[in-house]
Structure 1
Amino acid sequence: MNLPAHGRRVLVSGASRGLGRAVARAFAANGDRVAVHYGSRADEARETLDSLDGTGHALVSGDLADPAQAARVADTAAEALGGLDVLVNNAAVNLPHPPATTPYEEWVALWQRHVSVNLLGTAYLSHLAARRMIESGRGGRIVNIGSRGAFRGEPDHPAYGATKAAVHALGQSLALALAPHGIAVASVAPGFFATERVAPRLAGPEGDAIRAQSPFGRVGTAEEIAAAVLWLASPTAEWASGTVLDLNGASHLRT
């Protein structure tokens, strides 16, 4: 398969800020063209788009929990870029719902939302992108953003941890199914890393305890995670297909 190292057509879901923005910037700096997806943060997504190196990028919107909207996102991105070579499944929700204190109705609604966005949205986009990659004959890459929480547990966010574990499993199933078509699929499992969303926690009373989770005495950066995603999407990373790459500064070691 003839997957280029630069000039690829890349769809990054949930790219309005945080890790999605860092991933979009990494691909653009590599010479790729990027479709910046967002759900509701249009202004922030526009800021991401405007910050990208190069030209030919696009903005796409839609609720990935809705199969019809997910299809429109993939169609719009492929039309704007002239196809799809790389999909980064970054869009996710992570809302607290500790089981001991969350009312049942809220518990049910939050589980449904996490499954719909984190797992089903990832499955929808992966299918839509993979079919386009197969039709192009160029192969491709799918990289999923998972989580350390899939392995060590998330007591206040159990649906998040469970859906990220499912995303890891989905990625491995797709890696087996899509390899004959030259499509490599891998996941990253980040630990705690700094973004705008978690900045108040890092600056507050629990900041030191969060940093102490890693023997490096710090949290990760979105740019570090994005660099790993960029490598997994590269032509030289095909043999990493099926992997779940831990990126947590030795804060959680799997055996």
Structure 2
Amino acid sequence: MQFPATGRRVLVTGASRGLGRAVARAFAANGDRVAVHCHERAEEARATLASLDGTGHVLVRGDLADPAGALEVADAAHTAFGDDGGGVDVLVNNAAVNLRHPLAETPYEEWVETWRRHVSVNLLATAHLSHLVARRMIDRGTGGRIVNIGSRGAFRGEPDHPAYGATKAAVHALGQSLAVSLAPHGIAVASVAPGFFATERVAPRLDGPEGAAILAQSPFGRVAAPEEIAGAVLWLASPAAEWASGTVLDLNGASYLRT
């Protein structure tokens, strides 16, 4: 069965705002149906849902830090899209936490809890949802796509957010392992590693004293728009990108060059 270019069923986690919202919009504009996931930001997620082109989109809620919550989200998306020949064709693992916790300033108890939270959401939720979605793709024999949202911080270091950098490096490694194991089933897995991009969450930093230094990280003198990252995710999920399976695509405006 040929993997379709449009009309797919797409689950985007953490899609209430920011990059997740941009990714959901990109797929909807492509003619796909989107399951917009959120945990606590239901009002913002409904705003994302209302902004999508086309019809057939749904809202799914659940705490991905809890394995049972991940199962609920996967089941809700598959049920909404229909298991009889339906189900999720594309999974975008976007949900993440990024809490400041420099070692020299963070008490041990807070350090332990912050690491637990990052591992649970950034890494384990990605692994659990990938398993739940991929197993159904395998059972249907339809193939599919998984795209993980990683980070430039996995390579350049995150001194104020070490758990974020570490878990995003693990997400990249997970994606490459799954790319090898799932290829025989027609499932391609890839990751993107964005640098700084403008969202509601980082707007105070861009508008504050460190804004100029952040812009200067790239020789283009700016940060990315979420839509630029979303466009790359859309391509990696396309039939044309099967041979990119296993890649970690840098999207940082030449602000950090890996060798």
> Is the TM-score greater than 0.5?
yes
Q: Are 2:29 and 1:29 aligned?
A: yes
User: 1:1-255 alignment to 2 at 5 Å?
Assistant: 1-82=1-82, 83-255=87-259
Alignment-mate amino acid for residue 171 of structure 2:
V
- Residues in 2 aligned to 1:75 and 1:105: alpha-carbon distance in whole angstroms: 35
- Residues in 1 aligned to 2:231 and 2:2: alpha-carbon distance in whole angstroms: 22
- Residues in 2 aligned to 1:78 and 1:21: alpha-carbon distance in whole angstroms: 20
Deviation at 1:173, TM superposition (A): 0.2
Deviation at 1:81, TM superposition (A): 1.4
Q: Alpha-carbon deviations, 1:187-226, whole Å to 9, x = none?
A: 0000000001111111111111000000000000100000
Structure 2, unmatched stretches of 5+, are none
Structure 1, unmatched stretches of 5+, are none
Deviation at 1:171, TM superposition (A): 0.1
Deviation at 1:132, TM superposition (A): 1.2
Alignment-mate amino acid for residue 52 of structure 2:
L
Please identify, of 199-208 and 213-222, the stretch whose mean Cα deviation from structure 2 is larger.
199-208
- Residues in 2 aligned to 1:3 and 1:14: alpha-carbon distance in whole angstroms: 25
SS in 2 for 1:24: helix
Alignment-mate amino acid for residue 254 of structure 2:
A
- Residues in 1 aligned to 2:31 and 2:191: alpha-carbon distance in whole angstroms: 22
SS in 2 for 1:11: strand
Deviation at 1:154, TM superposition (A): 0.1
4+ aligned runs moved over 2 Å, structure 1: none
Q: Alpha-carbon deviations, 1:96-151, whole Å to 9, x = none?
A: 00000100000000000000000000000000010111112110000000000000
- For the aligned residue pairs, the C-alpha RMSD in angstroms reads 0.5
Identity of aligned residues (%): 83
- Residues in 1 aligned to 2:221 and 2:140: alpha-carbon distance in whole angstroms: 46
